[in-house]
Structure 1
């Protein structure tokens, strides 16, 4: 618990890692360059050493070949005093396994002195070269071997100097790369830090502010554009939410005010209110409140992505015929159900019943004399909810009212929207019916739209995915 608490600051937010993106990129770049330079330096040192030693060995072979030719021509005595040779060479002349001539620094025995070997004499290393010669200058016919060793002291000094230079230059180069990466990454991330500060300063009251977009056209500029787009969507969502709350408050206040007025009138002047009138008003306005609250709950679930249908087999024709009987019972408009065909879909029965009721009530409110209900399977439509091909059910509700202009047809699906006086509150509508229709249709993978009706009014068309057995 103490460790977990130590990972959060006083505000309860997780502590930031001390090493940010800038530090991690710098560390990664420096590490990669350091590894490459160390590997390159080691390989360079090994190749240089092999090359220098090969040069020393070639010099020893040349000396051995020259001395062997001299021995063949004049015998071992022709070499003179070998003690006068350069200090960086040793020479031995071996005949019959015995040393017949040697320089001062030469080993006391010739055992193990083979061609290409190295020997250490008085803390100094020599690379050996051996050359055989036949000499009869001394009256014999002995095989003579001339062994010459070249000192590697100069090679060791050169390699030591190179190693010291590499030991100094590699860290300097790594430091230079790290510094360069730190500066370059810092400059590249400077716009990101500015955007972070600007986003951190955004509150519910400053959603209209936008981030500065760099003119570079790179990933950071696209990030700024994306964040600005997100702020725009948040601002729009906030405005929609505020408008929804305002409209909902107004809608709820209207029936409550009506109930209060009748109640106050009944208490102050009971003689003016006939028997049962107050109860009728309360029931009517209560029913209106119930429908409004239920509609807002459906829309709230849709906004939260929680409007998930409980799938079951639903007969759409039964739903439309039931609503037709209800409207006929009111006697206000005529209802034509001749185009209602047997159609079954797989969806939420309660939600689809609400969809059908909202469609029929909307048409009945705006019709002059009658409405036409129709439902029929539409074969060959793609089921967007399941991703497969299946039949699609189509519901159409026509009215013979004034219709809806093409430019306003999308607005009728917005919440609390009324296009004109014909859609005023006194007609009984709340402005949520068609918004609920579209949300329910989309929750089932379908869509809702407005078209022209043959009677000159409006046609509301809802397309829904259907079960495999559509009929």
Structure 2
């Protein structure tokens, strides 16, 4: 990864810049405050000297005696007809405006000077600033050396800490990068902190992808098997008719081709419908009377000689594509008709928020452990009802996908007569 794109480098650089700015401002401020504080101390001393010497001159003490009594580290100059100084350097002192101080340089040395008008003349006092300059210079050097050292130490610490903090991220990245399309069963691990939560999320995602891949493979395998079966039947009859023309008739061969072709067509249409439902393609929707669809299917079954009980069919309206909902109802009814001993029972009810369609048969029923698996694509149970003669193995799977597309549910349980009962629950259409 380029250095400029490294989180570790950006964190280190960001911390370095921020702390450098803060320490730089703090260092400059410290030097200025130190210089100001020391200079203020010298200024107070100069003002006290002016006051003391002025008082002595007012008390009548001679100017020469007063000036000579000042210490060697203070320069004093009394201007008048005969200027009086306590040191040769004091003769060079300029007159400073009253009520102010000024920095002056005499013979290469810096002084802080102030002046005051007295009866004996203009009095000027100056104190050396050497210790102030030395202290400020020493502080400047220390800060100039110390601040860069602190910044370098900070950068090293942040670099190391950021590297250790991001090490689990790199380890997680390598683990994920090493998972191929054929290794979806592998999982990643990054500890118990926030990265661990991220790893757990990624593991759940891998589990979903693995499950989807397994379902897809099984679906493709089952679909291939189901499509191969009618093709094999057609080919066998064609080869038989070709090798032994007297063993079959044209009508028999036509019937086999027609029946197996219809079976293949049903399979392909079911697969295409499932593919569209998997993609959640939007279907035109409007109010559909579920009770009308149930009664239409009941009439169709009666025409086939099946006894149907519709006494429990009441009003129920949902929002759906009519063809899609009709397909779900027909699949449930056809499934019940194939397994019913005598009677198929249809019921439609509504509680205002939900509409329920119940399709029940009086056949052998579904074992409790298989009541969820019957909705899988090409699901085959061990019992006679699992091998639906004339069924594609996709009917109930299509019903479940249609129910989920409508934010509804489909459930299987035992009916009142011991047969299978399927309950399709859908949101009711808003009342107009």
Shift of 1:124: 4.5
Q: Which shifted more, 416-425 or 35-44?
A: 416-425
> Would you say how many aligned residue pairs link Structure 1 and Structure 2?
429
- Matched residue SS, 2:88: coil
Q: In structure 2, how many angstroms separate the alpha carbons of the residues matched to 1:42 and 1:99? A: 46
| Residue-by-residue CA offset, 1:39-66 (whole Å, 9 max, x unaligned) | 2112212211111111111222232233
Q: In structure 1, how many angstroms separate the alpha carbons of the residues matched to 2:2 and 2:351? A: 58
Instruction: Label 1:445 to 1:99 Cα distance change in 2 as closer, same or farther (>3 A).
Output: farther
Q: Does 1:465 align with 2:427?
A: yes
Q: Which of 45, 51, 56 is matched with 1:65 structurally?
A: 51
Q: Which has the higher helix share?
A: 2
Q: Which residue of 1 aligns with 2:185?
A: 208
1:166-315 aligned at under 5 Å gives the runs 166-214=143-191, 217-303=192-278, 305-315=279-289
Shift of 1:126: 2.8
Q: In structure 1, how many angstroms separate the alpha carbons of the residues matched to 2:340 and 2:213? A: 36
- Matched residue SS, 1:393: strand
Q: Which residue of 2 aligns with 1:5?
A: none
Shift of 1:275: 4.3
Q: In structure 2, how many angstroms separate the alpha carbons of the residues matched to 1:443 and 1:414? A: 16
Q: Which residue of 2 aligns with 1:38?
A: 24
Q: In structure 2, how many angstroms separate the alpha carbons of the residues matched to 1:452 and 1:173? A: 78
Q: Which of 64, 82, 89 is matched with 2:74 structurally?
A: 89
Q: Which residue of 2 aligns with 1:136?
A: none
- Matched residue SS, 1:105: helix
Shift of 1:247: 1.0
Q: In structure 2, how many angstroms separate the alpha carbons of the residues matched to 1:341 and 1:439? A: 25
Where does the alignment leave 5 or more consecutive residues of structure 1 unmatched?
1-14, 134-141, 382-391
Q: In structure 1, how many angstroms separate the alpha carbons of the residues matched to 2:403 and 2:357? A: 11
Instruction: Label 1:350 to 1:426 Cα distance change in 2 as closer, same or farther (>3 A).
Output: closer
Q: In structure 2, how many angstroms separate the alpha carbons of the residues matched to 1:16 and 1:336? A: 74
Shift of 1:181: 0.9
Q: Which of 283, 295, 299 is matched with 1:321 structurally?
A: 295
Shift of 1:130: 4.7
Q: Which residue of 2 aligns with 1:421?
A: 383
Q: Does 1:76 align with 2:60?
A: no
- Kept in 1, the 8 Å contact 2:96–2:124? The answer is no
- Kept in 2, the 8 Å contact 1:298–1:307? The answer is no
Q: In structure 1, how many angstroms separate the alpha carbons of the residues matched to 2:2 and 2:329? A: 54
- Kept in 2, the 8 Å contact 1:366–1:422? The answer is no
Q: Which of 101, 112, 115 is matched with 1:127 structurally?
A: 112
Q: Which residue of 2 aligns with 1:354?
A: 327
Q: In structure 2, how many angstroms separate the alpha carbons of the residues matched to 1:107 and 1:449? A: 113
Shift of 1:89: 3.3
TM-score (normalizing by structure 1): 0.84
- Kept in 2, the 8 Å contact 1:308–1:443? The answer is no
Shift of 1:109: 7.5
Shift of 1:315: 2.3
Q: Which residue of 2 aligns with 1:409?
A: 371
Q: Which residue of 1 aligns with 2:350?
A: 377
| Residue-by-residue CA offset, 1:162-220 (whole Å, 9 max, x unaligned) | 11211111111111111111111111222221221121121122222222443xx2112
Instruction: Label 1:160 to 1:17 Cα distance change in 2 as closer, same or farther (>3 A).
Output: closer
Cα RMSD between the aligned structures? 2.5
Q: Which shifted more, 241-250 or 272-281?
A: 272-281
